[in-house]
Amino acid sequence: MSEKVFKKINVTGCSTESYEKAIDVAVAKAGESLRGMAWFEVTEMRGAVSDGAVTEYQATVEVAFRVD
């Protein structure tokens, strides 16, 4: 059977280092409870500012996983 079905969830990762690290954190954490992850899509990027400096990077991603 070549047909595939996927479901997507939204997760937000946070990092004090970079957006890339925030994405990695989000996907890794989702992988702890999902199986069959196939791809992700970044839907939002934002951050926190304190005293005029960036203190946190936040990335919301849609993670898709295959439905059995």
**Three-class DSSP category at 53:** strand
Q: How far apart are CA 8 and CA 66, in angstroms?
A: 9
**Domain residue spans of the chain:** 6-66
- The correct answer on CATH 3.30.1660.10 for the domain covering 6-66 is yes
Distance in angstroms (rounded) separating the CA atoms of residues 14 and 5: 29
Q: What is the pLDDT of residues 35-60, one digit of tens each?
A: 999 999 999 999 999 999 999 999 99
Residue 48 CA to its chain's centroid (Å): 17
For residue 20, the surrounding DSSP H or E stretch is helix 19-31
Q: Bridge-partner residues for 39, per DSSP? A: 64
Radius of gyration of the chain (CA): 14
Q: How confident is the model at residue 1 (pLDDT cuts 50, 70, 90)?
A: low
- Whether the model clears a pTM of 0.85, i.e. scores above it, the answer is yes
